[in-house]
Amino acid sequence: MPGVDLHTDIVFLSGVGPQRAKLLKEQMGIATLGDLLTYFPYKHIDRSKLYYSHELTPEMPYVQLCGRFLSFTVEGVGRKQRLVGHFSDGHGVVDMVWFNSIPYIRKAYDELHTYVVFGKPTFFNGRYNITHPEVDPAEQVELSALGMFPNYSIPEKAKKRGVTQRMMQGLVRNLLRLLQAPLPEVLPADLVGRMRLMTRDEAVRAMHFPQNALELSAASYRMKFEELFFVQLNILRYTQLRKRQYVGLPVNRVGDLFNDFYYHHLPFELTGAQKRVIREMREDMRSGRQMNRLLQGDVGSGKTLVALMAMLIALDSGFQACIMAPTEILAEQHAQTFRHFLGDMPVRVELLTGKVKGKARKDILEGLAAGGVHILVGTHAVIEDAVCFSNLGLVIVDEQHRFGVAQRSKLWGKNATPPHVLVMTATPIPRTLAMTVYGDLDVSVIDELPPGRKPIRTLHFFDNRRAQLYDHVRREIARGRQVYVVYPLIKESEKIDLENLEDGYEMLRAEFPDYRISKVHGQMKPQEKDEEMRRFATGETQILVATTVIEVGVNVPNASVMIIENAERFGLAQLHQLRGRVGRGAEQSYCILITSYKLAEDTRRRMQIMTETNDGFEIAEEDMKLRGPGTLDGTRQSGLAFELKVADLVRDAQVVQQARDAAREVVTADPEQCLPAYAAMWQHLRELKQQEVDWSGIS
């Protein structure tokens, strides 16, 4: 028997006419039979189980009780008039309440028969109530046949125009009946067997109408696995292709510069994590393949130094290297740091930002083209067309989320053979997300801070306790430390935000007349801004009042206090970044979060997380839980190839790993994509890719 074509228009399903078809298409994106088949319910209601009234809690979404009505009363008047059936199951009384059709209901049920009632319990006036329950005579109810009822998400608009749960259930039943031949399997048979997965056919059916909770969870596991497996298959196949296509520049010379630096210029011992990461990059760059590596390390973990050493490795093989930073201040700081670290070594480091003009710029460009400039540090300016390298071997992108993919890929073109690429980020990306979104990059993690750092102490203050706070600030400054005070600034409320900052600045001047205070915000001219930053960095001023311009990268080891005003307005990731500006020296550092007294629940939770942990990865996980993975910086730009319909990167972290392992095995087993056992799988991947989410329109 020929199978039903799942691309068939939904209008051909029994129970769907032209009008319903239009509604389903426009409001719910269900255009074909296949769309309906994978329009999985968001929850099921278990009607195979009876509860006793004394077991009820207000959290229960739906319950089913069996018992008798003791009596009926009509209560209230006018619009509030309602019929109350006092229902007892022998363990207690629960009130059934109807506001509509009172005469009809009163006739339909009596005090003699036993009924099964179903609905959502609420606790009110010392007793449980169920409003508008479903009531069936007990002798007509066969519990085991009721099973799990699917609930589909139906948008308001569709609801208004008549789409109901019952209708959806009916349509899906019709469809499943129509599909008599089993749905073809898309996962390799050996995988299904080995992992004891449900077949696709069983799973799809059970997703809608499972016999019980156990079957539902097996089906849902299978569908999640399938979804994540194809995401990983796509990534790994692409990675493999790239590895075969691009030859990596040969960075294989044992390095004089590297060794000289390591043995004679490095002012401290590298941490174990730094050593490991450098080793990983060294292996990559001499492997004959292009390096594509993501380096994650919490703020202050010493990524900048690792970047410098990676560049020295490239230089040793006769290549140039380039590092891009997201802001001018950061680029300048990097250039300074590198020059300082390198001392008198024969390495020419140049800084290229929008500010470098005229002859100075011309000199740098010529030096790059001729090969005399070894390391270029810059902002976006380095990807302009005028910038040509003689022999670019390594590109490092710092704080990657501020650079779009398109901008990065412009850099690839700066050499005939694409240079090695290292992407550094201090925004910890939860492992499962990294594996999925940056799945084509190899990942290195610096999970160790340089020795001697004391963990930052984070305190949460309500804004009525400033006096106490300022005493603390005074003590720190008296010890020679410096203090950041940060204000939020967003476009929508820019004017008020700046006023707040100015008010805060004046308040601090009045409070600390003996100290000098810097002020930095986005409205200032770049020169003024830089001058103020410089005054703080050199210790001329003791307090820096700023908006979030200091969020990224600034390094003033002597600063030991970070005060964040209106902390409720910052997200977790941002708070953690800001906190990372202190705790860079050997002193005990503090981060003080100031909020108003009244806080929303999730704000309270954010503050609590901040005071409880300094671990960037833990914070990133929590952040993802609070906000959902879609909102993390860069997710969209980097583009998940397909939308996830059943899997959740937070909840299904383990499945992500399993899917990746399985996909890796398959790609290794069938690199040419020609084994018959995998044909259906590759075909399915191609079909999925045709429906690929198009992010290109989203900037």
271 interacts with ligand ADP by CB under 6 A: yes
Give 299 or 578: the residue with its C-beta nearer to ligand ADP. Answer: 299
Cα-trace Rg, the chain: 32
Give 172 or 342: the residue with its C-beta nearer to ligand ADP. Answer: 342
Please, what is the minimum distance in Å from the beta carbon of residue 208 to ligand ADP? Answer: 49
Give 91 or 453: the residue with its C-beta nearer to ligand ADP. Answer: 453
- Look up residue 551 and give its two tokens: 């969020």
User: Which range touches Mg ion (CB under 5 A), out of 8-16, 112-120, 284-292, 296-304?
Assistant: 296-304
Q: Name the residue type at position 392.
A: L
Please, what is the minimum distance in Å from the beta carbon of residue 584 to ligand ADP? Answer: 5
Detail the DSSP E strand segments found in 521-635.
543-546, 559-564, 590-595
- DSSP-assigned letter for residue 268: S
Paired residues of 82 in beta bridges: 75
- DSSP-assigned letter for residue 247: B
Please, what is the minimum distance in Å from the beta carbon of residue 308 to ligand ADP? Answer: 9
Residue 394 CA to residue 389 CA, distance in Å, equals: 11
What is 121-149 written as a DSSP string? EEEETTEEEEES-EEEEGGG--HHHH-EE
Direct distance between the N- and C-terminal alpha carbons of the chain, in angstroms, rounded to an integer: 48
Contact set for ligand ADP, span 449-468 (CB under 6 A): 450
Q: Name the residue type at position 623.
A: D
188 interacts with ligand ADP by CB under 6 A: no
What is the maximal distance between C-alpha atoms in the chain?
A: 100
426 interacts with ligand ADP by CB under 6 A: yes
Q: How far is CA 394 from the centre of its chain?
A: 28
Please, what is the minimum distance in Å from the beta carbon of residue 268 to ligand ADP? Answer: 4
Give 44 or 584: the residue with its C-beta nearer to Mg ion. Answer: 584
Count of helices and strands (H, E) across the chain:
25, 22
Give 302 or 418: the residue with its C-beta nearer to ligand ADP. Answer: 302
Contact pick of 210, 300, 326, 553 for Mg ion (by CB under 5 A)? 553
Could you say which of ligand ADP, Mg ion, none residue 432 binds, taking C-beta under 5 to 8 angstroms by partner kind? none
Give 230 or 341: the residue with its C-beta nearer to Mg ion. Answer: 341
326 interacts with ligand ADP by CB under 6 A: no
Q: CA nearest 686: which of 199, 234, 239, 242?
A: 234
Could you say which of Mg ion, ligand ADP, none residue 270 binds, taking C-beta under 5 to 8 angstroms by partner kind? ligand ADP
Residue 11 CA to residue 314 CA, distance in Å, equals: 62
Residue 117 CA to residue 133 CA, distance in Å, equals: 6
Residue 2 CA to residue 198 CA, distance in Å, equals: 23
Q: How far is CA 152 from CA 45, 166, 167, in A?
A: 11, 10, 10
243 sits in the region (left: phi over 0; alpha: psi -120 to 50; else beta) called alpha
Detail the DSSP E strand segments found in 540-601.
543-546, 559-564, 590-595
274 interacts with ligand ADP by CB under 6 A: yes
378 interacts with Mg ion by CB under 5 A: no
User: Which range touches ligand ADP (CB under 6 A), out of 55-63, 293-301, 454-462, 664-672?
Assistant: 293-301
User: Which range touches ligand ADP (CB under 6 A), out of 105-113, 219-227, 302-310, 351-359?
Assistant: 302-310
Assess contact for 349 and 375: CB atoms under 8 A. Answer: yes
Please, what is the minimum distance in Å from the beta carbon of residue 555 to Mg ion? Answer: 7
User: Which range touches Mg ion (CB under 5 A), out of 144-152, 301-309, 436-444, 490-498?
Assistant: 301-309
Residue nearest to ligand ADP (CB): 302
Query: How many of the chain's residues bind Mg ion (CB under 5 A)?
Result: 2
Contact pick of 21, 31, 154, 270 for ligand ADP (by CB under 6 A)? 270
- Look up residue 15 and give its two tokens: 């129970």
Assess contact for 20 and 44: CB atoms under 8 A. Answer: no
584 interacts with ligand ADP by CB under 6 A: yes
Please, what is the minimum distance in Å from the beta carbon of residue 267 to Mg ion? Answer: 17
Contact pick of 220, 292, 301, 317 for ligand ADP (by CB under 6 A)? 301
302 interacts with ligand ADP by CB under 6 A: yes
**Residues whose CB falls within 8 Å of the CB of residue 651, separated by 6 or more in sequence, listed in order:** none
450 interacts with Mg ion by CB under 5 A: no
Cα torsion through 569, 575, 578, 583, rounded to 10: 140
Query: How many of the chain's residues bind ligand ADP (CB under 6 A)?
Result: 17
Give 210 or 553: the residue with its C-beta nearer to Mg ion. Answer: 553
Give 32 or 304: the residue with its C-beta nearer to Mg ion. Answer: 304
Give 206 or 325: the residue with its C-beta nearer to ligand ADP. Answer: 325
Assess contact for 133 and 118: CB atoms under 8 A. Answer: yes
Paired residues of 528 in beta bridges: none
Contact set for ligand ADP, span 431-450 (CB under 6 A): 450
User: Which range touches ligand ADP (CB under 6 A), out of 26-34, 46-54, 297-305, 621-629?
Assistant: 297-305
Contact pick of 64, 304, 379, 560 for ligand ADP (by CB under 6 A)? 304
299 interacts with ligand ADP by CB under 6 A: yes
Give 150 or 634: the residue with its C-beta nearer to Mg ion. Answer: 634
Q: How far is CA 518 from the centre of its chain?
A: 35
Assess contact for 458 and 588: CB atoms under 8 A. Answer: no
User: Which range touches ligand ADP (CB under 6 A), out of 296-304, 590-598, 615-623, 651-659?
Assistant: 296-304
Assess contact for 364 and 356: CB atoms under 8 A. Answer: yes
Please, what is the minimum distance in Å from the beta carbon of residue 667 to Mg ion? Answer: 34
Give 421 or 663: the residue with its C-beta nearer to ligand ADP. Answer: 421
Please, what is the minimum distance in Å from the beta carbon of residue 340 to Mg ion? Answer: 15
Contact pick of 268, 471, 528, 631 for ligand ADP (by CB under 6 A)? 268
Could you say which of Mg ion, ligand ADP, none residue 349 binds, taking C-beta under 5 to 8 angstroms by partner kind? none
Assess contact for 324 and 380: CB atoms under 8 A. Answer: yes
555 interacts with ligand ADP by CB under 6 A: yes
Q: CA nearest 556: which of 531, 526, 588, 534?
A: 534
Please, what is the minimum distance in Å from the beta carbon of residue 346 to ligand ADP? Answer: 22
Could you say which of Mg ion, ligand ADP, none residue 300 binds, taking C-beta under 5 to 8 angstroms by partner kind? ligand ADP
User: Which range touches Mg ion (CB under 5 A), out of 222-230, 262-270, 505-513, 552-560?
Assistant: 552-560
Could you say which of Mg ion, ligand ADP, none residue 555 binds, taking C-beta under 5 to 8 angstroms by partner kind? ligand ADP
Residue 108 CA to residue 105 CA, distance in Å, equals: 5
Residue 595 CA to residue 604 CA, distance in Å, equals: 10
Q: Which residues of 333-370 are buried (b: 16+ CB within 10 A; e: fewer)?
A: bbbebbbebbeebebebbbbbebbeeeebeebbebbee
Q: CA nearest 374: which of 419, 416, 428, 320?
A: 320
φ, ψ for residue 498, nearest 5 deg: -65, -35
Residue 396 CA to residue 307 CA, distance in Å, equals: 7
Give 336 or 657: the residue with its C-beta nearer to ligand ADP. Answer: 336
Q: How far is CA 52 from CA 61, 513, 534, in A?
A: 15, 70, 71
Please, what is the minimum distance in Å from the beta carbon of residue 456 to ligand ADP? Answer: 13
Length of the chain: 699
Give 266 or 369: the residue with its C-beta nearer to ligand ADP. Answer: 266
Contact set for ligand ADP, span 491-550 (CB under 6 A): none
Please, what is the minimum distance in Å from the beta carbon of residue 528 to ligand ADP? Answer: 25
Which residues of this protein are in contact with Mg ion, per CB under 5 A?
304, 553
Which residues of this protein are in contact with ligand ADP, per CB under 6 A?
268, 270-271, 274, 297, 299-305, 426, 450, 555, 557, 584
